Structure 1
């Protein structure tokens, strides 16, 4: 049984081995057949090579070939080769015609025709660029010549390798290409950069007539980095511009917009086979990789590097022949004959004249303005031309990329004119709903005053919300503007958070009905904000830093201008502000506005400005001629149009003129006063963005009395007068009694006039003499009040001797009763408004009871060190200045604020 089982297993094994041998036989047989077939195919290919090498028609004359072709396995080899040859010749015969048609279509006009047909004529092309540019011709066997062209603008770079003694041929080749480009495009559309490591001058000298324009720029042979930095800067700037617009190349952006936004650039670099630093070669390769997308093409000659991006190669065999990567190494290109040097020079001169003619001479302010006013949206950014460079507009861009601007220029350099050009160009493009302007001029002048309504011209710039002039001594007004911007920043940030967005564009999409214009705050001579080592400087620095950092996202932008180096020095040590001002504008001879190594402002001609959107780095320079914009009749013509268009829907701007004292009768709050609520005594104008008054409320709370401090008679009388007149408007005649005592003889006429005015309004007025005071104080301290009483005391310190005297048998003096009136009077509807000519006399009046009974004071010619006791013990930074007072109300102020007493023209 076991033997039978083992026998069966043996049979199965033998059967399997037999099957395997059979399969191996089949595989080996197939392999032998495949090898034999391959050997036959190889033999046929070798025979084809031998026949081609000898020649198909001469193969029969070779005995060995004839015998091989008679072999049965080689039958048909020669016939197949003859058929292929015939097909090739038939196709090759059509190549010249097809290439002529192709080059004629892709290299139209000067790009492909003979130079005699176009040399020296200015082109008209603005958007479309010929894909190919002719360099010569070639011949394919007997099929006839055909044109050879290479790609360049928006397509490729060129790498040229010279042959010995072929420099003239290389220059002729490049001159021909450049002239074809310049004659195909409109004047100014192409700019050429020339650099030769071995030539201090004479780099393509026949093109030098163009060097007096922007069409040709020649670089120092020892400063390759200057050219590389400039090209790298253009690439970065254009890349940012195209990426922000949602495009990957300048060509794509140009095709979408339907207009040219940047000139094309061709950089020609003669390397002469020399070795360069590894850093320079790496930078050149980086530039080549991104240049074509930025509208920049490189033509490099004998440079020891392999360029990135698309590159076509031309290798000269001698002065007139070359091979190219376009045609392959088997075809020799006959380069087009050189254009005679005199013809090249003459053509360059005519092209230069065409460029100058196209510029049309000096441009005017009207050329900055759009055809239709107010058609642009500021959701993404603000963009407007401010000048021209060789006929092309040069724009200021304010947005997320360049959120804030720094402008510098010495006196007479055109800084004010530039500001007007920028303001006018922006206002013409964006309606007031898209752009809000806050304009502040610290220097002694009225640069922006014309933008507010005046006596002769009632129009104003509708975009302006605030205009401040002559504020060189009112640094607090600049601080008030910064506080306003900080508050607006917080408001917008809260709205953005509510709508779950991060920038102004998103907020406007989510809240289309909200009013979210971009805000531009222009502060001329901003360095005055940092003029002192005090609270104003510290607070201004903190606010500026916050606005500079966070303002960009919420559409709040700063334009800071200064005419001397001190203004720029104010930023050293404040990098949070300085570094955010990525837009730099330098007027001629301006210092330290641009980067330290950028000296473009020193060579800028008059009425020009150097614009730089790259933090002042040299590659970002744009020179612009700024037309006259600040002459009154020029700007007023635009302002009148804007006023007619928008004034009905927008309020006039708030005008703050530090050289003019306000009038009480013209104060907005004075006009609205009426006998309702707690009366408020208006004391002066607040230095604030809003047209507000400094006031004290006459509530029944303790300390609601006013002390005017100082010897400045005009200001003291003004404050007292404004307080009395404003209170009179808030009481019905029978509801108040004014008790008036004047203890300064020279002030009597003014006080008499006030009393007369109060009588005319129907109010009860009681005149008190010095002798009446003691008795009146006793009654005020003891008698119940039937109605409100306002005690107006002029020169209180003059009455102290009489008040201090005691009558025989009395325990209290008149001064004691006066102190009682100050302490308890407000709760009994008795409020004292008094003028003390010194703080010491006020302290004597109050005695040991402290200063709480004077809750409100206005200090005039009193030093801050004397006021600490009346300001809760805090250090008071105050140096008296004419026409200003320091105002403090214990119930509403943390620190005192500066106010402007109302003017009294009749005094």
Structure 2
């Protein structure tokens, strides 16, 4: 059967007055909505260039219902009219070429076959044609009149008859007459000559009745068109513990036809890396949760190593950290660019290791190695949310990130290493090779965004993402962003955090029964690592006299150790202004010294005037009688320590050297009087200079570097080992390398840097702090 044709009406425009041209389309729309609204979704496109919306005044309440009027307003300008008609024409073309077949020739037949994913009925109402109708719009309108009704797109057109007499509209009028029905012809009763008749318009409903009808219609439509599928619906027919030999195939939503929309990477006929982007509120985090959960439901921990690196200041990925997700090698939240670089460097190391293994097995790629060796080597998937932060720090960090990321994107595919980069926008990313990086991401997933971002995400000229209503709509494109590769899909809601946690608990219980070993490393950029247990200190410090101060800022997060080497000037200088880090470093040092049996005493002098917090008291108790504490410089036994160099080993801790000016060396022009005893400053300098060679070390803490940088310059020459934290960049450069080095990011309260001035070794680390419970 032929679908209902387009409707059109010849009129003369009468401004400032509701004419028959207005009421006929209005009545038609009311009847259309009333007749179909309960059965299928209806979308209205309203075009009223002269009256600017007054022609559809009864329908204006519907503008607030996005499901009914996607544009949210009545179109009045040439450019937006042309864009809207172009989109409808594209949708008609897609249905004819992709949806309809021998079983479904038109819209109604297609919906009968696909009741779970019906196509909406789209009604476009145009007033005062050809006002604001460009040549391109006219062509679009002709195609809509010819093919639209077959595709569920019904145009209702009110035409200004006088203006349509122009010859340029002859072709359009011929199309209109051949493919549509003139609305006023329906009112004539030709062939009934014996009867007289009069046209009586249907009485327009009272305003209160009409308003009630519109409100009910809007409510019903919103409820009916709301996407209701949830994440577990993706798992209905999922086979658990599938192999990743042929790549990942992860369902993440449904196409309009009701088929799964899948993210496929790693297969011989698929892309290998992906880009996900969408503006704030478009559902990016929700889609990442859907992807991660479904991936872990489908594949076992032995088949995948998942690295989650999140740069957002949120707790989205925390749900995968406690308890740890069995599939995850890393869950990192609120990460630093520097830490991200260490993760990339670790994966490059993994790539190089796999290259050697594959070569020794005569395997060309991951799939061939798995088949030849029968070793269950997991595929790797690295997900970086807000990846642009990697390039936001100094040039040194950004260049390292670019180089490592480019290497992984180019070479990772052969070794089963895949990357998904997520961001809100690609605009303003400070990376010289960002174009090359994006080119390597052959699979593009776009959520709602602006036209400029759509073109950057999907590809030049591909603005389809600008028309998305996200959530729940998205576009997945496996053709490097080519417009022909766009596949629209609907994304399920992953659920609230408690619901996701419950699903993860079941998953973890299931995998634990299979004997999967825990492999997850947790990193939180917002918090510092806790001081290790006494047994851990004992294991390290009894083997070698060393200070264990924190975790290196690397993927492996190995302990940072400072060996206490008996060498001239190998004292340690700490500088920074952060009480938590200060107390953590002091406590970690005391725990380390408590298991160094060679020290006879640990003498602590507090010149800060502030009692140390954190684990200081507990660490002092572990030292027992060997720990002596002073807060009066006159009582500090500097002379006795000096007299017993080489006889008794002492660890002298001066806390707040910048505040105790008595310990600052005297100016060079002020020489001591003959016979005067050495000053405390002289004694401290003597201990710093000669002590390390004889097993006695000085550990000095400075809060404000500028207070003593000049005055203590000579003294500080005997401190080859230096630790900086929470300082400005210039002061840190002056402290650790005499003004030569620059340490961008040292002001952040989640890191410190250690420098050995003799060897020029530099190590960033995260200091230990008081653990929550001992």
1:651 Cα deviation after fit: 1.4
1:807 Cα deviation after fit: 7.1
Match of 1:828 in 2: 694
1:579 aligns with 2:416: no
Distance 1:406 1:204, change over 3 A: closer
Distance 1:703 1:518, change over 3 A: farther
Greater length-normalized contact order (CA 8 Å, ≥ 6 residues apart): 2
1:490 aligns with 2:352: yes
Match of 1:470 in 2: 334
- 1:467–1:654 Cα contact (<8 Å) kept: yes
802-811 or 595-604: which moved more? 802-811
SS at match of 1:500: coil
Match of 1:793 in 2: 654
Distance 1:534 1:361, change over 3 A: closer
- 1:851–1:870 Cα contact (<8 Å) kept: no
- 2:730–2:742 Cα contact (<8 Å) kept: yes
Distance 1:198 1:875, change over 3 A: closer
- 1:535–1:877 Cα contact (<8 Å) kept: no
Where structure 1 has 5 or more consecutive residues not aligned to the other structure, the ranges are: 1-175, 213-358, 454-458
Match of 1:207 in 2: 150
1:629 Cα deviation after fit: 1.1
1:740 aligns with 2:604: yes
1:417 Cα deviation after fit: 0.8
Distance 1:207 1:870, change over 3 A: closer
Of residues 314, 317, 328, the one that matches 1:448 is: 317
Of residues 767, 773, 776, the one that matches 2:629 is: 767
SS at match of 1:649: coil
Of residues 418, 421, 433, the one that matches 1:557 is: 418
- 2:529–2:766 Cα contact (<8 Å) kept: no
1:519 aligns with 2:380: yes
Q: What per-residue deviation string (whole Å, max 9, x for no partner) do you get for residues 118-152 of structure 1? A: xxxxxxxxxxxxxxxxxxxxxxxxxxxxxxxxxxx
1:525 Cα deviation after fit: 0.8
Distance 1:841 1:645, change over 3 A: same
Of residues 389, 392, 399, the one that matches 1:528 is: 389
Match of 1:650 in 2: 517
1:361 & 1:882 partners in 2: Cα distance? 44
Matched ranges for 1:664-675 at <5 A: 664-665=531-532, 670=536, 673=539, 675=541
Match of 1:422 in 2: 291
Distance 1:674 1:775, change over 3 A: same
1:739 Cα deviation after fit: 0.9
1:447 Cα deviation after fit: 0.8
1:395 & 1:802 partners in 2: Cα distance? 69
SS at match of 2:660: helix
1:197 Cα deviation after fit: 12
SS at match of 2:271: coil
Q: What per-residue deviation string (whole Å, max 9, x for no partner) do you get for residues 146-172 of structure 1? A: xxxxxxxxxxxxxxxxxxxxxxxxxxx
1:643 & 1:511 partners in 2: Cα distance? 29
2:759 & 2:295 partners in 1: Cα distance? 40
Match of 1:132 in 2: none
Match of 1:588 in 2: 448
Of residues 218, 229, 234, the one that matches 1:368 is: 234
1:641 aligns with 2:506: yes
TM-score normalised over the length of structure 1: 0.57
Q: What per-residue deviation string (whole Å, max 9, x for no partner) do you get for residues 241-296 of structure 1? A: xxxxxxxxxxxxxxxxxxxxxxxxxxxxxxxxxxxxxxxxxxxxxxxxxxxxxxxx
Match of 1:631 in 2: 496
Match of 1:392 in 2: 259
Q: What per-residue deviation string (whole Å, max 9, x for no partner) do you get for residues 416-443 of structure 1? A: 1111111111111111111111112111
1:870 aligns with 2:739: no
SS at match of 2:248: strand
SS at match of 2:457: coil
Of residues 681, 692, 708, the one that matches 1:815 is: 681
Match of 1:616 in 2: 481
TM-score normalised over the length of structure 2: 0.66
- 2:552–2:763 Cα contact (<8 Å) kept: no
1:769 Cα deviation after fit: 4.9
1:370 Cα deviation after fit: 5.4
Match of 1:231 in 2: none
1:211 & 1:639 partners in 2: Cα distance? 47
Kindly report the root-mean-square deviation, in angstroms, between the aligned alpha carbons of the 2 structures: 3.8
2:112 & 2:545 partners in 1: Cα distance? 73
Matched ranges for 1:883-898 at <5 A: 883-890=749-756, 894-898=761-765
Distance 1:811 1:758, change over 3 A: closer
1:545 aligns with 2:406: yes
Where structure 2 has 5 or more consecutive residues not aligned to the other structure, the ranges are: 1-99, 120-138, 156-224, 667-671
1:577 Cα deviation after fit: 1.3
1:507 & 1:826 partners in 2: Cα distance? 55
Q: What per-residue deviation string (whole Å, max 9, x for no partner) do you get for residues 358-378 of structure 1? A: x99743211212545532111
- 2:315–2:333 Cα contact (<8 Å) kept: yes
1:180 & 1:840 partners in 2: Cα distance? 80
Distance 1:786 1:495, change over 3 A: farther
Distance 1:436 1:579, change over 3 A: same
1:398 & 1:211 partners in 2: Cα distance? 40
Of residues 599, 602, 627, the one that matches 2:463 is: 599
Matched ranges for 1:84-103 at <5 A: none
Q: What per-residue deviation string (whole Å, max 9, x for no partner) do you get for residues 188-223 of structure 1? A: 69999xxx99962454677334999xxxxxxxxxxx
Distance 1:724 1:191, change over 3 A: same
Match of 2:530 in 1: 663
- 1:437–1:521 Cα contact (<8 Å) kept: yes
Distance 1:862 1:602, change over 3 A: closer
| Structure (1 or 2) with the greater helix fraction | 1
Q: What per-residue deviation string (whole Å, max 9, x for no partner) do you get for residues 388-423 of structure 1? A: 013110110111641211111111101011111111
SS at match of 1:664: coil
1:405 aligns with 2:274: yes
- 2:229–2:493 Cα contact (<8 Å) kept: no
SS at match of 2:151: helix
SS at match of 1:561: strand
Distance 1:685 1:902, change over 3 A: farther
Distance 1:621 1:873, change over 3 A: same
1:489 Cα deviation after fit: 1.6
Give aligned pairs, total.
568
